[in-house]
Amino acid sequence: MRDVIIIGAGPAGLAAAIACRKWNLDVLVIDEFPKPGGRLLGQLHQEPDGAWWNGIVETEKLLKEAFSLSTDIRNGVSCHNIEKSTENFIVYTNAGTFSSKKLLSAAGAAEVAAPVPGWTLPGVMSIGAAQVMTNVHRVRVGEKGVIVGANVLSAAIARELQLADINLLSMVLPVKNKANYNHSTPSKVMEGLVRIAHLAPSAFLRFGSKFAKADFVKKLAVKFYPKNGIKMWGMPIHLRKAVVSINGVDKVESVTLCKITPNGDIIKNSQKTVDVDFVCIAGGLYPLVESVSILGCPFIYLEELGGHVPVHNEQMETPVDGLYVAGNITGIESSKVAMSQGDVAGLSIVKSLLEDSFSIHVQLQKSVENVKKVRKNASIQFHPNITEGRDRISKTFNQIKE
């Protein structure tokens, strides 16, 4: 029996494994992807201070430390069921059955679909798939395309595609329907763009973002949004244009665009068809929680964290004895936050399994404070009011445990 099994070899899972191995715990890390690293593998962007964040390099650093500690990491291993007895967890996978005293789920996040007519055609993909194909597999996704959905994720990955010399005509919204209201309503989308304007190369956009946090300013900005869009890295971002349909017979051949009102309604007789050979759909991310839901872990819906998240405290413990969580499964944030959370989870597991020495306690408290520091300094925030969301989830945990 292992001391701990970690589901997910992304930034949170690897950081947790390293923390556990430093205290000589018996650790097994499993991940269904062929390579360790998770979403880190596709990331490549420039920070506000000019430094480059290269996810492949960061993954290599984590793996170098993990392997120096003889960490058992197994890829291509899919978990399809988990059971909990009074003493241990039993994890069922395609590579056999494993058991452990503690279990950490660092399962990460999945992409939200923003349905558009024609989205099943070959050549249509999620923005995350385009990122992986480009940065991990070095496969060109197409010659000329558009991004449907303007948010933190699409803006960051758009730049990565441009660096790979992929021609992006523009970023537009999906046509409004019941399933994608927040992604198709210009006023809602503007809220997200305000949180990334500081990354724009345009000094005007950076300066304007300081004032656009006020509701009345956002309404004015949407109402008088330039017809030709606002360029970010040379690519126009349109809040007053939407994709009505993706067209083609056996593959993507064009998209039909229309102009929309500030409320996202179609303006009549404004449709125009543009030739493209690929379309990236960006609906955002949501926590991937199936691995803990089957263990009876309670959840709470928090828009600030991206959806339903497992209840947990600052030490990454859940109300289910022996079950821990870390990374995007706890709410959508940056990889840096995920790594710092993984360190906390690992030290929490160490504290629960080993004699509660003062040194472990001190390290754990420092790690908890580091998560707050990393979160505060994050250059990209996927959702507003993240700190408030974290406070609510901690209070819910305390209420359950009382």
**Statement to judge: residues 182 and 77 lie in one domain:** no
Residue at which a domain ends, from 281, 311, 326: 281
Going by pLDDT thresholds of 50, 70 and 90, the confidence category of residue 283 is: confident
Query: pTM for the full model?
Result: 0.88
Query: Residue 116 falls within a domain, yes or no?
Result: no
Mean pLDDT on 219-227: 62
List 95's β-bridge partners, or say none: none
pLDDT of 203 reads 39
Q: Would you say residue 158 has pLDDT above 60? A: yes
Q: Would you say residue 262 has pLDDT above 90? A: no
Query: Residue 81 falls within a domain, yes or no?
Result: yes
pLDDT of 113 reads 79
CA atoms 358, 363, 369, 371: torsion sign: negative
Of 83-97, 99-113, 176-190, 278-292, where does mean pLDDT reach its minimum?
Answer: 176-190
Residue 68 tokens, joined: 């120096």
Give the CA distances from residue 51 to residues 44, 46, 192, 286, 334, in Å, rounded to whole numbers and listed in that order.
11, 6, 23, 28, 16
pLDDT of 237 reads 86
**Statement to judge: residues 354 and 257 lie in one domain:** no
φ/ψ of 105, rounded to 5, equals -100, 115
Query: Residue 219 falls within a domain, yes or no?
Result: yes
Of the spans 29-33, 163-167, 302-306, which averages the highest pLDDT?
Answer: 29-33
**Statement to judge: residues 277 and 163 lie in one domain:** yes
pLDDT of 78 reads 95
First to last CA, the chain: 31
**Statement to judge: residues 157 and 263 lie in one domain:** yes
Mean pLDDT on 84-91: 93
Query: Residue 117 falls within a domain, yes or no?
Result: no
Residue 143 tokens, joined: 């010659």
Residue at which a domain ends, from 281, 310, 332: 281
**Statement to judge: residues 326 and 235 lie in one domain:** no
Give the CA distances from residue 335 to residues 43, 67, 367, 371, 379, in Å, rounded to whole numbers and listed in that order.
9, 20, 16, 11, 11
**Statement to judge: residues 204 and 148 lie in one domain:** yes
Of the spans 205-214, 329-338, 375-384, which averages the highest pLDDT?
Answer: 329-338
Residue at which a domain ends, from 258, 281, 304: 281
**Statement to judge: residues 323 and 311 lie in one domain:** yes
CA atoms 316, 317, 318, 320: torsion sign: positive
Number of domains in the chain: 2
Range of the domain at 209: 123-281
**Statement to judge: residues 244 and 345 lie in one domain:** no
Q: What CATH number did the domain enclosing 77 receive?
A: 3.50.50.60
CA atoms of 402 and 396, how far apart (whole Å): 10
Could you give the percent of the chain with pLDDT greater than 90?
Answer: 64
Mean of per-residue pLDDT scores for the chain: 88
**Statement to judge: residues 130 and 260 lie in one domain:** yes
**Statement to judge: residues 318 and 334 lie in one domain:** yes
Q: Would you say residue 351 has pLDDT above 50? A: yes
Name the residue type at position 243. V
Query: Checking DSSP bridges between strand 124-126 and strand 109-111, what pairing results, if any?
Result: unpaired
Q: Would you say residue 16 has pLDDT above 50? A: yes
Q: Quick: pLDDT tens for 201-222.
A: 443 344 344 434 445 445 555 6
Query: Residue 115 falls within a domain, yes or no?
Result: no
Query: Residue 216 falls within a domain, yes or no?
Result: yes
**Statement to judge: residues 317 and 385 lie in one domain:** yes
CA atoms of 25 and 33, how far apart (whole Å): 24
**Statement to judge: residues 190 and 240 lie in one domain:** yes
Going by pLDDT thresholds of 50, 70 and 90, the confidence category of residue 185 is: confident
Query: Checking DSSP bridges between strand 307-310 and strand 299-302, what pairing results, if any?
Result: antiparallel
Q: Which residue has the higher pLDDT, 186 or 138?
A: 138
CA atoms of 313 and 316, how far apart (whole Å): 5
Query: Residue 118 falls within a domain, yes or no?
Result: no
Query: Residue 151 falls within a domain, yes or no?
Result: yes
